[in-house]
Amino acid sequence: MAAAAEEAAGSGGGGSPSSARRRLRIISGHLRSSPRAPEREALSLSPCKAQGASTGPASGSIPKKRQELLKWNGWGYNDSKFIFNKKGQAEFTGKRYRLGGMVLPTFKEWMEKTFGASLDHKTTSRATLNVNDVPPSLVKEEFLQDLRAAKISYSQDAEDRVFRAHGHCLHEIFILREGMFKRVPDIVVWPVCHEDVVKIVELACKHNLCIIPFGGGTSVSSALECPEEEKRTIVSLDTSQMNRILWIDEKNLTACVEAGIVGQDLENQLAESGFCTGHEPDSMEFSSLGGWVATRASGMKKTIYGNIEDMVIHIKMVTPRGIVEKNCQVPRMSTGPDIHHFIMGSEGTLGVVTEVTIKIRPVPEYQKYGSVVFPNFERGVACLREVAKQRCAPASIRLVDNAQFQFGHALKPQVASIFTSFLDGLKKFYITKFKGFDPNILCVATLLFEGDREKVLQHEKQVYDIATKFGGLAAGEDNGQRGYMLTFVIAYLRDLGLDYYVIGESFETSVPWDRVLDLCRNVKERIVRECKEKGVQFAPLSTCRVTQTYDAGACVYFYFAFNYRGISDPIHVYEQIERAAREEILANGGSLSHHHGVGKLRKRWMKESISDVGLGMLRSVKEYVDPNNIFGNKNLL
């Protein structure tokens, strides 16, 4: 592999190291390093130094020991969660989110009414991780000696290994609460730069090991689960310490960034220099740049900033065959099939993404939220279609159906004053009594506008004018902002549900405009029907929202949940229902996934999705790049 890597750096990289340095000198006039990376190092091709040196990892939001900050068997931060207090009222703990410390007076009633749940019926789950339940670490001493010689940080600690044995699928979290995985990584390694990754992959090839790359751990496709039948030592390659911005190019508005940086740190560091990427997936607090590339991610503000494939200029990836990268950083090339599209969406099956050059933009001057209430979902979808047709969509526009509107309303915190309560009542009276909207049918779109203040205000008027034509009423900035911010806390609700026999999950698809309504209706009805047939005793929550919009279609995001009391194997029942829902999506002209990826969870439908020949093409790439299956997570193929 070393020879292959050297060859790739020389020829695949577009010439000798000296010619590469010449190119760097030419462009260095308008490059500047991040405040977190010294300028000389940022423009150098020399290997990075040992951890703790000036080129070591930046101080990130997520520590190397994830258990110091994050839950071991649930979503997010240890200090942030939904609970029922001593008065039986729901509240959200911690101070990290705007909802923190607030009481949600109607949530308990909504939960009881929607799921038939009761605070009297509570499940029991393990409070702490029992390290004795964790499969032992099986690593040969020769590999450990090589890691020490290469000065690569590693751990065989049970907690470290379990934290990197899973993503956040329902069944993965359920296993953590009730039992333990049959297979977990044997060792975790922490490279601090591209050259460290090269060394680790070389050692894996030398010792015939299996590598599973780990970024932010937010996968919802079973992508991080270790194959139970894997007999080789499994190495979790955690990229979290590769978290620096190497340089910022202010003239071309690009930045070269190490792939392990998480979304919140990327945006915060860029903001120090007056820039942003605008890429905001729901998981941006915890998900990594490399993970976005590996799964072909999409963000809430994709209308302005694009999906990840629209933002990427250059990718560097280490494979068992060598290093893959283009010889220049340009907006477009006509040099055969784009190798970036072999890397994006490869889900850790080909190698490790180490550095990414992405587009950046100045931080927007002005930001404004908004919301529109529609008499029904059909009118709302028609409005979004017209907005897309006129190509005037704001940074974010998301339409929730009535069930999701009711769900969001249940998460509304207790009002602080009588006056605020009076205003809320007045708005409700105006919409339901004066305008005649049925509260059990109406739906709401949340909006976010960004950019130059004058243009934002013009853009806002254009969108609201279109909404009016479809019966929409402006519903205020507060509702828009609250709806947008709820995105980051909704994931915490699943943990609360599991405490009271309620299991739930989300899944998504993309669909042509003329199939949106049929698909939404049919999938929700299929979920209800399947629950009844599978013996679920209580009616499920089956709801959707239309999120990212395109000229030719939209992304539709579903939530479904049900009370599993009385069911002996709830995860098996859940998986049967989800499988039926996915079949319904495909039958209605939807895609296998819009942005969550395939992993192991959805790969049974890959042949149907991309054809037998298409799947064969992907296998051929895998066989060439990784003939010994070093990257053996078994995703996609």
Q: Which residues are catalytic?
A: 557
Surface-to-core class of residue 517, CB atoms within 10 Å of its CB (0-12 exposed, 13-18 middle, 19+ buried): middle
| C-beta of residue 287 within 8 angstroms of C-beta of residue 218 | yes
What region, left, alpha or beta, does residue 253 occupy, with left being phi > 0 and alpha being psi -120 to 50 degrees? left
Q: What share of the chain is helix, strand, coil (3-state, %, to 5)?
A: 40, 20, 40
522 alpha-carbon distance from chain centroid:
26
How far is the C-alpha of 256 from the C-alpha of 82, rounded, in Å? 38
Would you list the DSSP string of 560-614? EEEE-TT-S-HHHHHHHHHHHHHHHHHHTT--S-SSS--TTTSGGGHHHHH-HHH
Residue 124 one-letter amino acid: T
| C-beta of residue 275 within 8 angstroms of C-beta of residue 256 | no
How far is the C-alpha of 186 from the C-alpha of 137, rounded, in Å? 4
| C-beta of residue 388 within 8 angstroms of C-beta of residue 465 | no
Provide the residue count of the chain.
Answer: 637
How far is the C-alpha of 362 from the C-alpha of 248, rounded, in Å? 12
Q: What is the DSSP letter of 73?
A: S
| C-beta of residue 172 within 8 angstroms of C-beta of residue 222 | yes
Question: Please, which residues have CB within 8 angstroms of residue 99's CB and are 6 or more apart in sequence?
Answer: 92, 411, 413, 485, 486, 489
Question: Please, which residues have CB within 8 angstroms of residue 516's CB and are 6 or more apart in sequence?
Answer: 381, 385, 546, 553, 554, 556
Give the DSSP H/E element, type plus range, for residue 212: strand 210-214
How far is the C-alpha of 561 from the C-alpha of 559, rounded, in Å? 7
Q: What phi and psi, each to the nearest 5 degrees, are found at residue 387?
A: -60, -45
Question: Could you count the other beta carbons within 10 Å of the beta carbon of residue 446?
Answer: 27
Residue with tokens 């060439």: 624
Mutual angle of helices 194-207 and 141-149, in 10-degree steps? 160
Surface-to-core class of residue 569, CB atoms within 10 Å of its CB (0-12 exposed, 13-18 middle, 19+ buried): exposed
Question: Please, which residues have CB within 8 angstroms of residue 418's CB and are 6 or more apart in sequence?
Answer: none
| C-beta of residue 48 within 8 angstroms of C-beta of residue 196 | yes
How far is the C-alpha of 601 from the C-alpha of 635, rounded, in Å? 8
| C-beta of residue 342 within 8 angstroms of C-beta of residue 350 | yes
- Give the 3-state secondary structure of residue 547: strand
Give bridge partners of residue 559 from the DSSP assignment. Answer: 506, 543
Residue with tokens 């919140």: 264
Give the DSSP H/E element, type plus range, for residue 362: strand 361-362
